[in-house]
Amino acid sequence: EALVLSREIYARRVVESGVSHECTLLAGSNLANSLYASKLFEEAKTLVRDRLPAAQGSLGADHDVTLMLNKILADALMDNPDRSRDDLRMNPRWYGVDATRSGSQHRR
């Protein structure tokens, strides 16, 4: 039932506020967490990967919602018994990392 409610809330937020609004991204994070808890790893992974660019762009890489989305993605990738090696390779785009930066310039 929690999963059904999370889906409904997220869908309503998308319509009312748009995909980049903080409330929508939070609802998306809650939905992804419900999917993860229900062991629907592929769906959780897809949702998070679709929402991360919006979260990074509108909230920033260090915002709590963006960080939570990253955590859910990492958990879904690691706990999925059907994961592939490609799933475990970090794609800098998912994490807001600029792959052209390195060394002390990249550290905060």
Q: What is the CA radius of gyration of the chain?
A: 14
Q: What is the pLDDT of residue 104?
A: 41
Determine contact, residues 58/21, Cβ cutoff 8 Å: yes
User: What residue type is assigned to position 38 of the chain?
Assistant: S
Tens digit of each residue's pLDDT, the chain (108 residues): 889 999 999 999 999 999 999 999 999 999 999 999 999 999 999 999 999 999 999 999 999 999 999 999 989 988 888 888 777 775 545 555 444 444 444 433
Q: What is the pLDDT of residue 84?
A: 81
Locate 101 and state its tokens.
Answer: 């930066």
Q: What is the pLDDT of residue 33?
A: 96
Locate 6 and state its tokens.
Answer: 């999370």
pTM above 0.85, yes or no: no
